[in-house]
Amino acid sequence: MTDTIRSDAFVFFGATGDLAYKKIFPALQGMIRRGHLDVPIIGVAKQGWGIEQLRDRIRASLTEHGGGVDERAFTKLSERLAYVDGDYNDLETFRQLSRKLGDAKHPVHYLAIPPSLFPVVVQNLAASGSAKGARVIIEKPFGRDLASARQLNRTLHEVFDESAIFRIDHYLGKEAVQNLVVFRFANTFLEPVWNRNYIESIQITMAESFGVQGRGSFYEEAGAIRDVVQNHLLSVVGFLAMEPPATTYNESIRDELVKVFRQIAPLDVNNIVRGQFDGYQREPGVKPGSNVETFAAMRLDIDSWRWADVPFFIRAGKCMPVTETEVMVDFKRPPITKLARGTDNYVRLRLTPDLKIALGARVKRPGDEMVGEPTELSLLEQPKGDEVGAYERLLGEAIDGDPALFSRQDAVEAAWKVVEPALDLEKAVEPYSRGSWGPAACDLMTRDVGGWLSSQPLR
């Protein structure tokens, strides 16, 4: 099967699960509404359900998470929908799936299930003949560390070629994250200053005002570094730091991301702050005395001609004052200090909840004195609208066979190498109050560059 062959059936395991309820069903409705999905859709799960119960589940999902039921799209979805109820360990489940697939030659199988189930599902897909000519989509985490990521890859490669494996990180499908690439490389004025000669530091903040939302057991296995740093935030670093991708082949962006990851030195444990919000250990599913971090801050250094000596700071945490993901690119102070008394030149790239691109600059303060004052020039303010959702975009790309927005194995391994020194540290996490910006030690990390800029008012 070549990259250009479009999948002729969409199968999703975990059809009755939380991910399907919150993300997959709304994405499928969106794809149908836009005319992007016209193939059979087959859900697989072990719930003791029939097709009508699954349809009811989809309707509830669209009401709660899909912006409402589009009756026309829902009717088409229902007509194309089939359901297999059975145990993943039972080969008969996969024989039923094979019969449902009928004449489909190139299905795509989406494993929206716990990673521990990947091996048995992949092997039974092969045993039933349903893997022939097929693609497979797997959800993060891609392992828990470098060794397990490699083992997962070996398991997948027993059945699927690398070109047929789509490792989905929904963050890469977000409109705002893709805007990073366009903003960087479609604007000539940025390139002369996008380097160590003009940039003081780059800071990335991923703040969430809520806690673990009943997912204590999951968070005990993950923690902030595995959950969002190794994947989401390192990808943002890659887009900010990468060299211009070639436009002549579709792997160019993924090639440039891997180059960046390989140039990042493994994390220095002395440049890491791990925190845990007050009350985390009372959450259901959390182990007594847990040392799992709900907050992590760190400094990264990229050993390249463009970025030598420019610190990249990352922080991510639960129970923060706001929910937003923001990049602050802080430029060096100009030499005329009378006109520019502060470090107020920056680019602000807000990725969530709304897309915002702004420039921090100084203009003359009204009056007789020739003195500057800070202001912010908004280049783009885009409230969340009817843009294509991340899952809708990524599932469509997988069906079309375009891997550009999916994680490649060499990038997965390079990212694990960066964060591995920070995994499962024995040093106790530092407590922090709900609604704060994390442990006090976090502020010391950026004191030489003016502090964490996202938590400061307009300067």
Contact 313, 446 (CB under 8 A): yes
Using DSSP bridges, classify how beta strands 372-382 and 430-432 pair: parallel, antiparallel or unpaired.
unpaired
Tokens 């989509």, residue located: 137
Query: How far is it, in rounded angstroms, from Cα 457 to Cα 221?
Result: 36
Contact 135, 109 (CB under 8 A): yes
Rg over CA atoms, the chain = 24
Q: Which of 106, 109, 170, 232 is catalytic?
A: 232
Query: How far is it, in rounded angstroms, from Cα 396 to Cα 398?
Result: 5
Query: How far is it, in rounded angstroms, from Cα 318 to Cα 206?
Result: 9
Contact 444, 272 (CB under 8 A): no
Q: Which residues pair with 326 in a beta bridge?
A: 205, 350
Task: Note every long-range contact of 104-107, with CB atoms under 8 Å and residues 24 or more positions apart, other chains counting.
Answer: 104/8, 104/9, 104/39, 104/40, 105/8, 105/133, 106/1, 106/5, 106/6, 106/7, 106/8, 106/9, 106/133, 106/134, 106/135, 107/7, 107/8, 107/9, 107/10, 107/11, 107/133, 107/134, 107/135
Residue 157 falls in the annotated catalytic set: no
Q: Cite the active site residues.
A: 232
